[in-house]
A and B are shown apart, each in its own frame.
Chain A
């Protein structure tokens, strides 16, 4: 078995709509090895969904090449889809009016699985995803978080070698996102499934991926180990504190004061130099605090940094 499961070379896709042409994907080249956990990150409209549609065979590129598991996706779609799983956050693979279990039965027939093997898989997945009690109610009655667990079961049913996920955590609450990310890591580490995940949520890089490809305006602008990225780019946190009384601006190493208006402070903390906890200890002291917010820098900032570095 080759170790490269996905390979693209100069992949491009241009859409022509009425008066204008849109270059959704521009000259993209990368390779993905078996067992990788890859996050394909970019802001809205960057070309992530287009890329994944090309790799899963439902879109023809305008130029360039791609192979997934040795297949040319748009030519060998039927054969390819037997071996990959897909989960599109904004689209359902489950039949809306059926229960997930009924959908699984349909999918077992679609993927030509032995019925008994399929039932066993469903039971295993139900346990793994803690979703067994969701399988027998119609899909339309589930909350989004519940539905996503059933969708994940659906996409894993036939034992795919690669799982493509397009914005899977969109609309989920924090806890559900966390659980979902943990599941992806487990699947990768225990079953060796290659994970290809697109997202515009930076936290997906931090918690799931070992490698991140950043795309913007259709082109790859960064492709590196997450560990390396974290060292250089993701070490910033934004802290906003509102006090009851006026406070002076702090002078601390690793802390940049972005804004200071009497009772409010906006700080950028370089967590490599000083932890957020340290900063809060120093800044809050025993002052009266009205509100505190700790944020990741917006993705646009991260990407801007990537552009500059």
Chain B
């Protein structure tokens, strides 16, 4: 898997995603709606609680919500379903005919496709945030949140591929995306700051990879300057890549023995 192939895959997928103007519009509108709702909810919660909730001020929780939604809206949560379908249909088997890592190309293209959507969401957030909640609590937080969002998306997509690899063995794994999405919602900090969880659950969530997918960028955007979280994302990304690679390779080997 050469660097050139990674970059070409990402660029090609990104270009394809920007060519359709109406879907960009849908993206923006969807983000604005969802981000407005989530931030309104948590702002109301903070206000009802004397101006802060689990350590987040009204402004901080607004920016938490915006970042969390950017991490959600930018990528396809149903990637598990799509990959499972491709494995089952034999499309993945055909991809083995190319002298390149099937997983590598797929993940690169998925990340490339998500990046323009992320850029759009960030731009929308930059406009929406000050309007609904005010300026971000710490500018540095927002600056750190941007690479964190890219890493968040990468972690999420790689994990989805790792889960989807189950389709090499089992038949009906498509519906798993539902469960995956809900786990990321709660344990990933997508619909609530992890500090809202009861202590035991919060500690567990902090140890799992899902927190890289929304909590990290959101925490940073909320103004908590914890740059070690970025390192945590990189570490988890490495673990997830290795896991996905191992599972996919094993699955491909099975495909070669058992047939498509």
Contacts and interface: CB of A to CB of B under 8 A. Distances in A.
Interface in B79-99: 90-91, 93-94, 96-99
B256 A59 contact: yes
Contacts of B100: 110
Contacts of B4: 109, 112
B138 interface: no
A97 B94 CA distance: 17
A110 B258 contact: no
B105 interface: yes
A140 to B, nearest CB: 12
B259 A110 contact: no
Contacts of B40: none
Q: Contact size class for B?
A: 20 to 34
Contacts of A57: 96-97, 256
Interface stretch (B8-16, B30-38, B58-66, B154-162): B8-16
Q: Is the interface of A mostly helix, strand, loop or mixed?
A: mixed
Interface string A71-88: 000100111011000101
Interface residues of A, number: 31
B8 A82 contact: no
Interface string B246-260: 000000000111111
Q: Is the interface of B mostly helix, strand, loop or mixed?
A: helix
Interface in A80-127: 81-82, 86, 88, 91-93, 95, 97-98, 102, 105-112
B258 to A, nearest CB: 7
B16 A109 contact: no
A81 B93 contact: no
Given A106-B9, A109-B8, A109-B9, A78 B97 contact: no
A91 B96 CA distance: 12
Contact of B12 (A81, A88, A102): A102
B49 interface: no
A30 interface: no
B201 interface: no
Nearest to A56: B97
B15 to A, nearest CB: 8
A214 to B, nearest CB: 23
B99 A79 contact: yes
Nearest to B97: A86
Contacts of B256: 57-60, 74
7 contacts: A15-B258, A15-B259, A56-B97, A58-B94, A59-B259, A102-B16, A106-B8
Given A60-B256, A108-B8, A110-B105, 20 more contacts: A57-B96, A57-B256, A58-B255, A58-B260, A59-B256, A59-B259, A60-B257, A82-B99, A91-B94, A98-B16, A102-B12, A105-B12, A106-B5, A106-B9, A106-B12, A109-B4, A109-B5, A109-B9, A110-B100, A112-B4
Interface of B: 2, 4-5, 8-9, 12, 15-16, 90-91, 93-94, 96-100, 105, 255-260
